[in-house]
Amino acid sequence: MIEKIAGKVLVVDDEPNAIKVLSAILLDAGFNIISTTDSEKAVKIVSEEDIDVVVTDLKMPGTDGMQLFDYIVENHPDIPVIFLTAYGTVESAVQAMTRGAFYYFIKPPDYLKLKSIISKALEQRYLKKELENLCKRFFNEKNKKRITGSTPQMLKVMDTIEAIKDSVSSVLIFGETGTGKELIANALHFTSKRKDGHFVPVNCAAIPRELIESELFGSEKGAYTGSVSKRVGKIEEASGGTLFLDEIGELDLSVQAKLLRVLQESEIERLGSNEKIKVDFRLISSTNRDLEEEVEAGKFRKDLFYRINVITLYLPPLRERISDISLLVSEFVKEFCFRENKKILAISNEVMEVFQKHDWPGNIRQLKNVIERAVVLSKEDTITLKELPEDFIQVKEKADIYSNKTLKDLEKQAIQNILTECEGNKSKSAKMLGISRKAFYKKLKEFHIVSF
Protein backbone atom coordinates (compact mmCIF):
# COMPACT_ATOMS: atom_id res chain seq x y z
CA MET A 1 0.00 0.00 0.00
CA ILE A 2 1.34 3.43 -0.89
CA GLU A 3 0.97 6.61 1.20
CA LYS A 4 -2.27 8.56 0.96
CA ILE A 5 -2.32 10.70 -2.17
CA ALA A 6 -3.95 14.14 -2.30
CA GLY A 7 -4.94 13.64 -5.92
CA LYS A 8 -6.96 15.94 -8.16
CA VAL A 9 -10.60 14.79 -8.30
CA LEU A 10 -13.13 16.12 -10.82
CA VAL A 11 -16.72 16.08 -9.53
CA VAL A 12 -19.45 16.33 -12.18
CA ASP A 13 -23.15 16.64 -11.27
CA ASP A 14 -25.98 18.79 -12.65
CA GLU A 15 -27.25 19.48 -9.11
CA PRO A 16 -25.27 22.37 -7.50
CA ASN A 17 -26.21 21.30 -3.97
CA ALA A 18 -24.98 17.76 -4.56
CA ILE A 19 -21.65 19.16 -5.80
CA LYS A 20 -21.39 21.47 -2.80
CA VAL A 21 -21.92 18.66 -0.27
CA LEU A 22 -19.68 16.15 -2.03
CA SER A 23 -16.89 18.67 -2.64
CA ALA A 24 -16.88 19.71 1.02
CA ILE A 25 -16.63 16.11 2.22
CA LEU A 26 -13.82 15.26 -0.21
CA LEU A 27 -11.91 18.48 0.54
CA ASP A 28 -12.10 17.64 4.23
CA ALA A 29 -10.61 14.24 3.40
CA GLY A 30 -7.58 15.93 1.81
CA PHE A 31 -8.43 15.61 -1.89
CA ASN A 32 -7.99 18.48 -4.35
CA ILE A 33 -11.38 19.15 -5.93
CA ILE A 34 -12.46 20.63 -9.26
CA SER A 35 -16.20 20.65 -9.94
CA THR A 36 -18.63 21.45 -12.70
CA THR A 37 -22.35 21.02 -13.41
CA ASP A 38 -21.74 20.72 -17.15
CA SER A 39 -20.43 17.52 -18.78
CA GLU A 40 -19.13 19.42 -21.80
CA LYS A 41 -17.09 21.64 -19.48
CA ALA A 42 -15.89 18.45 -17.80
CA VAL A 43 -14.50 17.24 -21.15
CA LYS A 44 -12.56 20.52 -21.47
CA ILE A 45 -11.25 20.22 -17.90
CA VAL A 46 -10.07 16.65 -18.43
CA SER A 47 -8.26 17.64 -21.62
CA GLU A 48 -6.52 20.62 -19.99
CA GLU A 49 -5.93 19.57 -16.37
CA ASP A 50 -4.01 16.64 -14.91
CA ILE A 51 -7.09 14.95 -13.44
CA ASP A 52 -6.51 11.80 -11.37
CA VAL A 53 -10.10 10.60 -10.75
CA VAL A 54 -13.52 11.57 -12.14
CA VAL A 55 -16.67 11.22 -9.98
CA THR A 56 -19.70 11.83 -12.15
CA ASP A 57 -23.47 11.60 -12.05
CA LEU A 58 -24.83 9.21 -14.65
CA LYS A 59 -28.01 10.95 -15.78
CA MET A 60 -27.61 14.63 -16.70
CA PRO A 61 -29.23 16.87 -19.31
CA GLY A 62 -27.33 17.24 -22.59
CA THR A 63 -24.10 15.25 -22.51
CA ASP A 64 -24.66 12.68 -19.76
CA GLY A 65 -22.20 10.79 -17.58
CA MET A 66 -22.03 7.83 -19.95
CA GLN A 67 -20.95 10.04 -22.85
CA LEU A 68 -18.35 11.67 -20.61
CA PHE A 69 -17.16 8.17 -19.68
CA ASP A 70 -16.91 7.22 -23.38
CA TYR A 71 -14.76 10.29 -24.03
CA ILE A 72 -12.42 9.49 -21.13
CA VAL A 73 -12.09 5.83 -22.12
CA GLU A 74 -11.11 6.82 -25.66
CA ASN A 75 -8.84 9.78 -24.89
CA HIS A 76 -7.65 9.33 -21.28
CA PRO A 77 -7.99 5.62 -20.48
CA ASP A 78 -5.68 5.90 -17.46
CA ILE A 79 -8.18 8.10 -15.52
CA PRO A 80 -10.49 6.04 -13.24
CA VAL A 81 -14.20 6.96 -13.45
CA ILE A 82 -16.61 6.51 -10.53
CA PHE A 83 -20.36 6.80 -11.20
CA LEU A 84 -23.11 8.20 -8.97
CA THR A 85 -26.53 6.89 -10.05
CA ALA A 86 -30.16 6.71 -9.02
CA TYR A 87 -32.00 3.40 -8.56
CA GLY A 88 -33.55 3.57 -11.99
CA THR A 89 -30.17 3.66 -13.77
CA VAL A 90 -28.32 0.93 -11.89
CA GLU A 91 -28.42 -1.31 -14.95
CA SER A 92 -26.57 1.34 -16.98
CA ALA A 93 -23.96 1.70 -14.24
CA VAL A 94 -23.38 -2.05 -14.17
CA GLN A 95 -22.90 -1.99 -17.94
CA ALA A 96 -20.34 0.79 -17.48
CA MET A 97 -18.49 -1.37 -14.94
CA THR A 98 -18.14 -4.12 -17.52
CA ARG A 99 -16.63 -1.55 -19.89
CA GLY A 100 -14.01 -0.41 -17.39
CA ALA A 101 -15.63 2.02 -14.95
CA PHE A 102 -13.88 1.87 -11.58
CA TYR A 103 -16.97 1.77 -9.30
CA TYR A 104 -20.56 3.00 -8.99
CA PHE A 105 -22.59 4.29 -6.04
CA ILE A 106 -26.34 4.66 -5.62
CA LYS A 107 -27.33 8.18 -4.54
CA PRO A 108 -26.88 9.29 -1.84
CA PRO A 109 -23.54 7.47 -1.54
CA ASP A 110 -21.93 6.07 1.58
CA TYR A 111 -19.41 8.91 1.88
CA LEU A 112 -16.97 6.94 4.01
CA LYS A 113 -16.87 4.18 1.40
CA LEU A 114 -16.71 6.73 -1.41
CA LYS A 115 -13.59 8.28 0.11
CA SER A 116 -12.05 4.81 0.41
CA ILE A 117 -12.85 3.95 -3.22
CA ILE A 118 -11.43 7.26 -4.44
CA SER A 119 -8.22 6.54 -2.51
CA LYS A 120 -7.97 3.12 -4.16
CA ALA A 121 -8.57 4.67 -7.59
CA LEU A 122 -5.79 7.17 -6.92
CA GLU A 123 -3.45 4.37 -5.88
CA GLN A 124 -4.22 2.48 -9.07
CA ARG A 125 -3.57 5.54 -11.24
CA TYR A 126 -0.30 6.38 -9.54
CA LEU A 127 0.86 2.77 -9.69
CA LYS A 128 0.10 2.76 -13.42
CA LYS A 129 2.07 5.99 -13.81
CA GLU A 130 5.00 4.49 -11.93
CA LEU A 131 4.85 1.36 -14.10
CA GLU A 132 4.88 3.51 -17.24
CA ASN A 133 7.91 5.41 -15.94
CA LEU A 134 9.68 2.16 -15.14
CA CYS A 135 8.89 0.86 -18.64
CA LYS A 136 10.24 4.05 -20.19
CA ARG A 137 13.42 3.82 -18.13
CA PHE A 138 13.76 0.15 -19.08
CA PHE A 139 13.29 1.04 -22.74
CA ASN A 140 15.97 3.73 -22.54
CA GLU A 141 18.39 1.44 -20.72
CA LYS A 142 17.61 -1.33 -23.20
CA ASN A 143 18.57 0.97 -26.05
CA LYS A 144 21.65 2.33 -24.33
CA LYS A 145 23.51 -0.87 -25.07
CA ARG A 146 27.06 -0.93 -23.81
CA ILE A 147 29.94 -1.12 -26.26
CA THR A 148 32.37 -3.79 -25.11
CA GLY A 149 36.03 -3.70 -26.07
CA SER A 150 39.55 -2.91 -24.89
CA THR A 151 41.62 -3.13 -28.09
CA PRO A 152 43.20 0.09 -29.42
CA GLN A 153 40.74 0.10 -32.36
CA MET A 154 37.70 -0.09 -30.07
CA LEU A 155 39.09 2.48 -27.64
CA LYS A 156 39.48 4.82 -30.59
CA VAL A 157 35.86 4.17 -31.62
CA MET A 158 34.63 4.93 -28.09
CA ASP A 159 36.67 8.13 -27.88
CA THR A 160 35.28 9.24 -31.25
CA ILE A 161 31.69 8.58 -30.15
CA GLU A 162 32.22 10.72 -27.06
CA ALA A 163 33.67 13.52 -29.19
CA ILE A 164 31.00 13.58 -31.92
CA LYS A 165 27.82 12.49 -30.10
CA ASP A 166 26.25 15.98 -30.07
CA SER A 167 27.41 17.03 -33.52
CA VAL A 168 24.94 17.42 -36.40
CA SER A 169 27.50 16.09 -38.88
CA SER A 170 26.71 12.91 -40.79
CA VAL A 171 28.52 9.74 -39.73
CA LEU A 172 29.49 6.76 -41.89
CA ILE A 173 30.20 3.49 -40.07
CA PHE A 174 31.88 0.79 -42.09
CA GLY A 175 32.86 -2.74 -41.23
CA GLU A 176 32.00 -6.33 -41.97
CA THR A 177 28.56 -7.80 -41.33
CA GLY A 178 28.01 -8.54 -37.65
CA THR A 179 30.61 -6.14 -36.25
CA GLY A 180 27.99 -4.06 -34.41
CA LYS A 181 27.40 -1.08 -36.69
CA GLU A 182 23.82 -0.56 -35.47
CA LEU A 183 25.06 -0.74 -31.86
CA ILE A 184 27.43 2.16 -32.58
CA ALA A 185 24.64 4.16 -34.25
CA ASN A 186 22.43 3.38 -31.25
CA ALA A 187 25.11 4.63 -28.86
CA LEU A 188 25.60 7.83 -30.86
CA HIS A 189 21.88 8.59 -30.62
CA PHE A 190 21.14 7.63 -27.02
CA THR A 191 24.13 9.50 -25.59
CA SER A 192 23.40 12.64 -27.63
CA LYS A 193 21.21 15.66 -27.09
CA ARG A 194 18.79 14.06 -29.58
CA LYS A 195 18.16 11.07 -27.30
CA ASP A 196 14.57 12.14 -26.59
CA GLY A 197 13.80 12.06 -30.31
CA HIS A 198 13.22 8.91 -32.35
CA PHE A 199 16.02 6.57 -33.38
CA VAL A 200 14.79 5.25 -36.72
CA PRO A 201 16.76 2.36 -38.24
CA VAL A 202 16.20 1.39 -41.88
CA ASN A 203 17.77 -1.75 -43.32
CA CYS A 204 18.23 -0.68 -46.95
CA ALA A 205 19.17 -4.22 -48.00
CA ALA A 206 15.98 -5.76 -46.62
CA ILE A 207 13.40 -3.51 -48.29
CA PRO A 208 12.34 -4.31 -51.88
CA ARG A 209 13.55 -1.69 -54.36
CA GLU A 210 10.03 -0.83 -55.48
CA LEU A 211 9.06 0.02 -51.88
CA ILE A 212 12.15 1.83 -50.60
CA GLU A 213 11.04 5.29 -51.80
CA SER A 214 7.69 5.19 -50.00
CA GLU A 215 9.45 3.70 -46.96
CA LEU A 216 11.90 6.61 -46.78
CA PHE A 217 9.88 9.57 -48.05
CA GLY A 218 6.30 8.53 -47.27
CA SER A 219 3.36 8.69 -49.65
CA GLU A 220 -0.09 10.17 -50.10
CA LYS A 221 -3.22 8.10 -50.63
CA GLY A 222 -3.36 6.84 -54.22
CA ALA A 223 0.29 7.67 -54.93
CA TYR A 224 0.79 4.17 -56.32
CA THR A 225 -1.16 0.97 -56.82
CA GLY A 226 -2.16 -0.38 -53.42
CA SER A 227 -1.65 2.95 -51.62
CA VAL A 228 -4.94 3.24 -49.71
CA SER A 229 -3.93 5.80 -47.08
CA LYS A 230 -1.36 8.46 -46.29
CA ARG A 231 1.96 7.09 -45.03
CA VAL A 232 4.62 8.92 -43.01
CA GLY A 233 8.11 7.98 -44.20
CA LYS A 234 11.10 7.05 -42.07
CA ILE A 235 12.86 10.36 -42.77
CA GLU A 236 9.89 12.35 -41.52
CA GLU A 237 9.55 10.01 -38.53
CA ALA A 238 13.20 10.66 -37.62
CA SER A 239 12.76 14.44 -37.54
CA GLY A 240 14.08 15.68 -34.20
CA GLY A 241 16.09 12.48 -33.77
CA THR A 242 18.39 10.20 -35.74
CA LEU A 243 17.96 8.32 -39.03
CA PHE A 244 20.15 5.23 -39.36
CA LEU A 245 20.49 3.91 -42.92
CA ASP A 246 21.98 0.45 -42.54
CA GLU A 247 23.78 -0.77 -45.71
CA ILE A 248 23.25 2.52 -47.54
CA GLY A 249 25.25 1.16 -50.48
CA GLU A 250 22.20 -0.92 -51.46
CA LEU A 251 20.17 2.15 -52.48
CA ASP A 252 19.46 2.69 -56.19
CA LEU A 253 21.02 5.75 -57.82
CA SER A 254 17.57 7.36 -58.22
CA VAL A 255 16.90 7.07 -54.49
CA GLN A 256 20.42 8.32 -53.73
CA ALA A 257 19.64 11.47 -55.74
CA LYS A 258 16.47 12.12 -53.72
CA LEU A 259 18.27 11.47 -50.43
CA LEU A 260 21.00 13.94 -51.45
CA ARG A 261 18.35 16.60 -52.08
CA VAL A 262 16.82 15.96 -48.64
CA LEU A 263 20.23 16.43 -47.02
CA GLN A 264 20.80 19.65 -48.97
CA GLU A 265 17.37 21.22 -48.48
CA SER A 266 16.31 19.68 -45.13
CA GLU A 267 12.88 18.97 -46.57
CA ILE A 268 11.00 16.10 -48.19
CA GLU A 269 8.07 15.56 -50.51
CA ARG A 270 5.89 12.50 -50.00
CA LEU A 271 5.21 10.42 -53.08
CA GLY A 272 2.13 11.78 -54.79
CA SER A 273 2.45 15.23 -53.23
CA ASN A 274 4.18 18.54 -54.06
CA GLU A 275 4.01 19.76 -50.46
CA LYS A 276 7.42 20.36 -48.93
CA ILE A 277 7.82 19.15 -45.36
CA LYS A 278 10.71 20.47 -43.27
CA VAL A 279 12.75 17.79 -41.48
CA ASP A 280 15.55 17.98 -38.93
CA PHE A 281 17.45 14.77 -38.34
CA ARG A 282 20.98 13.50 -37.94
CA LEU A 283 22.02 10.94 -40.53
CA ILE A 284 24.10 7.93 -39.55
CA SER A 285 24.86 5.45 -42.33
CA SER A 286 26.62 2.11 -42.43
CA THR A 287 28.06 -0.14 -45.10
CA ASN A 288 30.07 -3.31 -45.50
CA ARG A 289 31.08 -2.23 -49.00
CA ASP A 290 34.01 -0.09 -50.15
CA LEU A 291 31.96 2.94 -51.20
CA GLU A 292 34.94 4.60 -52.85
CA GLU A 293 35.16 1.63 -55.20
CA GLU A 294 31.39 1.84 -55.70
CA VAL A 295 31.80 5.52 -56.65
CA GLU A 296 34.53 4.65 -59.15
CA ALA A 297 32.30 1.93 -60.62
CA GLY A 298 29.41 4.40 -60.98
CA LYS A 299 27.23 2.53 -58.47
CA PHE A 300 27.24 5.22 -55.79
CA ARG A 301 26.96 8.98 -56.23
CA LYS A 302 30.17 10.84 -55.45
CA ASP A 303 28.31 13.91 -54.14
CA LEU A 304 26.23 11.78 -51.77
CA PHE A 305 29.33 9.91 -50.61
CA TYR A 306 30.93 13.20 -49.54
CA ARG A 307 27.71 14.23 -47.80
CA ILE A 308 27.44 11.10 -45.66
CA ASN A 309 31.17 10.64 -45.08
CA VAL A 310 31.83 13.71 -42.93
CA ILE A 311 32.91 11.55 -39.97
CA THR A 312 34.03 7.95 -40.50
CA LEU A 313 34.06 5.15 -37.95
CA TYR A 314 35.72 1.81 -38.73
CA LEU A 315 34.66 -1.28 -36.80
CA PRO A 316 37.29 -4.02 -36.88
CA PRO A 317 36.26 -7.67 -37.40
CA LEU A 318 36.31 -9.93 -34.36
CA ARG A 319 39.39 -11.79 -35.64
CA GLU A 320 41.29 -8.51 -35.09
CA ARG A 321 39.90 -8.21 -31.56
CA ILE A 322 40.94 -11.55 -30.06
CA SER A 323 41.67 -10.03 -26.66
CA ASP A 324 38.04 -8.81 -26.48
CA ILE A 325 36.55 -12.29 -26.85
CA SER A 326 36.74 -13.19 -23.16
CA LEU A 327 34.96 -9.97 -22.18
CA LEU A 328 32.30 -10.43 -24.87
CA VAL A 329 31.72 -14.04 -23.80
CA SER A 330 31.25 -12.94 -20.20
CA GLU A 331 28.72 -10.26 -21.22
CA PHE A 332 26.71 -12.60 -23.44
CA VAL A 333 26.66 -15.42 -20.88
CA LYS A 334 25.27 -13.04 -18.26
CA GLU A 335 22.66 -11.69 -20.69
CA PHE A 336 21.33 -15.10 -21.72
CA CYS A 337 21.55 -16.60 -18.23
CA PHE A 338 19.28 -13.79 -17.03
CA ARG A 339 16.85 -14.36 -19.91
CA GLU A 340 16.78 -18.14 -19.51
CA ASN A 341 16.91 -18.08 -15.69
CA LYS A 342 20.04 -20.23 -15.68
CA LYS A 343 23.30 -20.15 -13.77
CA ILE A 344 26.49 -20.70 -15.77
CA LEU A 345 29.62 -20.46 -13.63
CA ALA A 346 32.39 -21.43 -16.03
CA ILE A 347 33.52 -21.83 -19.64
CA SER A 348 35.63 -24.92 -20.31
CA ASN A 349 39.22 -24.54 -21.48
CA GLU A 350 38.41 -26.30 -24.79
CA VAL A 351 35.62 -23.84 -25.54
CA MET A 352 37.77 -20.78 -24.89
CA GLU A 353 40.56 -22.26 -27.00
CA VAL A 354 38.15 -22.82 -29.90
CA PHE A 355 36.80 -19.28 -29.54
CA GLN A 356 40.30 -17.81 -29.60
CA LYS A 357 41.31 -19.72 -32.73
CA HIS A 358 38.07 -19.38 -34.72
CA ASP A 359 38.11 -16.78 -37.54
CA TRP A 360 34.51 -15.61 -36.82
CA PRO A 361 33.22 -14.78 -40.33
CA GLY A 362 29.94 -13.61 -38.73
CA ASN A 363 31.83 -11.53 -36.17
CA ILE A 364 30.18 -10.46 -32.88
CA ARG A 365 26.71 -11.42 -34.08
CA GLN A 366 27.96 -14.97 -34.67
CA LEU A 367 29.65 -15.13 -31.25
CA LYS A 368 26.46 -13.92 -29.58
CA ASN A 369 24.38 -16.56 -31.38
CA VAL A 370 26.83 -19.30 -30.36
CA ILE A 371 26.68 -18.22 -26.70
CA GLU A 372 22.87 -18.04 -26.82
CA ARG A 373 22.73 -21.61 -28.16
CA ALA A 374 25.21 -22.82 -25.54
CA VAL A 375 23.32 -21.28 -22.63
CA VAL A 376 19.98 -22.64 -23.86
CA LEU A 377 21.38 -26.17 -24.38
CA SER A 378 23.51 -26.31 -21.25
CA LYS A 379 22.27 -28.64 -18.51
CA GLU A 380 25.21 -28.02 -16.19
CA ASP A 381 26.87 -24.93 -14.77
CA THR A 382 29.76 -25.10 -17.26
CA ILE A 383 29.65 -24.54 -21.02
CA THR A 384 31.56 -27.29 -22.83
CA LEU A 385 32.27 -28.27 -26.44
CA LYS A 386 29.10 -30.35 -26.64
CA GLU A 387 27.00 -27.15 -26.46
CA LEU A 388 28.75 -25.67 -29.50
CA PRO A 389 27.75 -26.10 -33.17
CA GLU A 390 29.48 -28.99 -34.97
CA ASP A 391 31.76 -26.77 -37.04
CA PHE A 392 33.32 -25.40 -33.86
CA ILE A 393 34.39 -28.79 -32.56
CA GLN A 394 37.35 -29.04 -34.90
CA VAL A 395 39.89 -27.32 -32.71
CA LYS A 396 40.60 -29.41 -29.61
CA GLU A 397 44.21 -28.65 -28.65
CA LYS A 398 44.72 -27.66 -25.06
CA ALA A 399 45.76 -24.13 -24.18
CA ASP A 400 47.03 -23.50 -20.67
CA ILE A 401 46.12 -19.85 -20.76
CA TYR A 402 42.40 -20.68 -20.89
CA SER A 403 42.34 -23.70 -18.61
CA ASN A 404 38.87 -23.92 -16.97
CA LYS A 405 38.18 -20.21 -16.94
CA THR A 406 35.27 -19.22 -14.70
CA LEU A 407 33.24 -16.11 -15.40
CA LYS A 408 35.17 -14.38 -12.62
CA ASP A 409 38.44 -15.42 -14.31
CA LEU A 410 37.17 -13.90 -17.55
CA GLU A 411 36.18 -10.71 -15.75
CA LYS A 412 39.59 -10.47 -14.10
CA GLN A 413 41.34 -11.09 -17.38
CA ALA A 414 39.21 -8.43 -19.10
CA ILE A 415 40.09 -5.88 -16.39
CA GLN A 416 43.78 -6.69 -16.74
CA ASN A 417 43.55 -6.34 -20.52
CA ILE A 418 41.85 -2.97 -20.26
CA LEU A 419 44.34 -1.70 -17.68
CA THR A 420 47.13 -2.68 -20.03
CA GLU A 421 45.49 -1.03 -23.03
CA CYS A 422 44.85 2.14 -21.00
CA GLU A 423 48.45 2.13 -19.69
CA GLY A 424 47.25 1.90 -16.11
CA ASN A 425 44.79 4.81 -16.35
CA LYS A 426 42.12 3.75 -13.87
CA SER A 427 39.55 6.42 -14.78
CA LYS A 428 39.72 5.49 -18.46
CA SER A 429 39.62 1.77 -17.63
CA ALA A 430 36.51 2.22 -15.47
CA LYS A 431 34.87 4.20 -18.26
CA MET A 432 35.62 1.46 -20.79
CA LEU A 433 34.01 -1.10 -18.49
CA GLY A 434 30.96 1.11 -17.96
CA ILE A 435 31.36 1.22 -14.17
CA SER A 436 32.18 3.93 -11.63
CA ARG A 437 35.74 4.57 -10.47
CA LYS A 438 34.71 3.40 -6.97
CA ALA A 439 33.35 0.13 -8.36
CA PHE A 440 36.51 -0.30 -10.43
CA TYR A 441 38.74 0.02 -7.34
CA LYS A 442 36.52 -2.53 -5.62
CA LYS A 443 37.14 -4.93 -8.53
CA LEU A 444 40.91 -4.36 -8.31
CA LYS A 445 40.80 -5.23 -4.62
CA GLU A 446 38.49 -8.23 -5.17
CA PHE A 447 40.76 -9.75 -7.81
CA HIS A 448 44.03 -8.71 -6.11
CA ILE A 449 45.11 -6.80 -9.20
CA VAL A 450 48.12 -4.61 -8.62
CA SER A 451 47.80 -1.58 -10.91
CA PHE A 452 50.71 0.34 -12.33
Residue ranges per domain, the chain? 8-139, 152-316, 319-446
As a whole number, mean pLDDT of residues 86-90 equals: 66
Question: Which of 121-130, 249-258, 264-273, 302-311 has the lowest average pLDDT?
Answer: 121-130
More confident residue, 26 or 130: 26
Res 404 pLDDT > 70: no
Res 452 pLDDT > 60: no
What Cα–Cα distance (Å) separates residue 352 from each residue in 194, 318, 330, 428, 446? 40, 14, 11, 27, 23
Backbone angles phi, psi at 9, to 5 degrees: -110, 130
As a whole number, mean pLDDT of residues 376-397 equals: 81
CA 31 to chain centre: 36
Which residue, 442, 432, 354, 388, is CA-closest to 162? Answer: 432
pLDDT of residue 3: 42
The edge-to-edge listing of strands for the beta sheet with 53-57 is 32-36, 8-12, 53-57, 81-85, 103-106
Cα separation, 47 vs 371, whole angstroms: 50
Per-position b or e across 280-299, b if 16+ CB within 10 A of its CB: ebbbbbbbbeebeebbeeee
* Topology alike, domains 8-139 and 319-446: no
H helices of 144-230, in order, are 152-164, 181-190, 212-217
pLDDT of residue 78: 83
Under 8 Å between Cβ of 383 and 375: yes
Highest mean pLDDT among 3-17, 288-302, 380-394: 288-302
pLDDT of residue 135: 47
pLDDT of residue 214: 87
Res 136 pLDDT > 70: no
Under 8 Å between Cβ of 245 and 284: yes
More confident residue, 245 or 108: 245
Res 2 pLDDT > 60: no
pLDDT of residue 143: 47
For the chain, give the percent of residues with pLDDT over 70: 88
Cα separation, 322 vs 397, whole angstroms: 17
Cα separation, 137 vs 358, whole angstroms: 38
Does domain 8-139 bear CATH number 3.50.50.100? no
Under 8 Å between Cβ of 374 and 337: no
Q: What is the CATH number of domain 319-446?
A: 1.10.8.60
If you count them, how many residues does the chain have?
Answer: 452
Res 145 pLDDT > 60: no
Q: Residue 389: what residue type? A: P
Does domain 152-316 bear CATH number 3.30.499.10? no
What Cα–Cα distance (Å) separates residue 231 from each residue in 168, 204, 224, 235? 27, 18, 12, 12
pLDDT band at 38 (very low <50, low <70, confident <90, very high): confident
pLDDT band at 364 (very low <50, low <70, confident <90, very high): very high
pLDDT band at 398 (very low <50, low <70, confident <90, very high): very low
